[in-house]
Amino acid sequence: MDRNAYYPNMPATPSHSDAVKPTLAVKSCMALTNELEDLKHHVEEYASAPQAGCHYLRESQNWKNAPQHSQRAHRRRLWQQAMSMSRLTIVNVMDHLWAITHILNADSIALYSHQTLTRVACEGAARIAHLLDESASYEARLLRAAAPLLADADAKVTETREVMAARPDLPITLDSASKHRDVVLRMIESAGIRITYNASDKPTRLEIGDPVQREPYKPNFTTMMAKHFPERPASYRSTSGVVHSNPTTLGSAVVSSPLDLELELGPDVPGIGAAVMTAIDASIIVTEAYARFYGHTPESAVHASKRRRQAIDVYMQRWLTGQSTN
């Protein structure tokens, strides 16, 4: 029996001594490894040297312009939370890019996991672009920080309730989660942000200022991904197939005949190339957002990233051409 038949995490490529990985997979791994190194360098360079007049320096003092004196400290704290969120999200993006390089550099090629890792990196990049959007006002940025903070605090309360209901024997109470939510809610409201609730007393949007600026309580990631990844139409929906174990998506890795008793699986080689190209897109989005927020020009860095992406595309075309002639 094929050892991969029921253990898809086992090598999906031939395990004999002269087995050779597809060139496309090797080149994709090399390109993403170099991309990750450059991304680390650029974001550190930008953040450590904010340029005069940039969004970061201007907004760091904007709390002083709050319409009410009592709002100042809370706006300052909320904006600092936004900066912390951007840094942590970048770490999450980089961590998943690093994981992609490691599974592509392993002795065997991943069947599906590169897709889920790419999805997380892309979501993170879209969040960063949304949060640090150079066209957003200071007040809009406060809303874009407040919304996920409140949603996260609410989710923690719900999670704790569910654990308590399922495991009443555990020494768990709502105190910590509820206190954290109260602190977050108090900071948001004290910063002059209004929360709108629906008939079920669930938050729907956050508002600030006059004229009013609004932000939804929970973002529409499908719309956000379409906005920030225009060259990858439906990429967010396609990765959902792996995340939700859709049979058609999982079935694309089957290389054996439906009549065979044994299930033989093989990697989607062009899918690996496409995933890495999308991961590089995520890196570009982060680079551009960080550069512009801190007053730098990202053109040279983005150009290098696009060259890597183009190189993968060339290898993809070669692979597809080779397959079509076989």
Q: What is the pLDDT of residues 150-171, one digit of tens each?
A: 999 999 999 999 999 999 998 9
Please choose, from the candidates 225, 243, 221, 219, the residue with its C-alpha nearest in 3D space to the C-alpha of residue 282: 225
* This prediction's pTM: 0.89
- Model pLDDT for residues 1-10, shown as the tens digit of each residue: 343 443 344 4
Q: Residue 130: how many CA atoms within 13 Å on its side-chain side?
A: 26
Please choose, from the candidates 216, 73, 228, the residue with its C-alpha nearest in 3D space to the C-alpha of residue 151: 216
- Model pLDDT for residues 286-317, shown as the tens digit of each residue: 999 999 999 999 999 999 999 999 999 999 99
Mean pLDDT of the chain: 90
Whole-number Å distance between alpha carbons of 109 and 269 = 9
Between 63 and 264, the higher pLDDT residue: 63
pLDDT given for residue 258 in this prediction: 76
* In the chain, domain spans: 30-325
Kind of pairing between the strands at 194-197 and 203-208: antiparallel
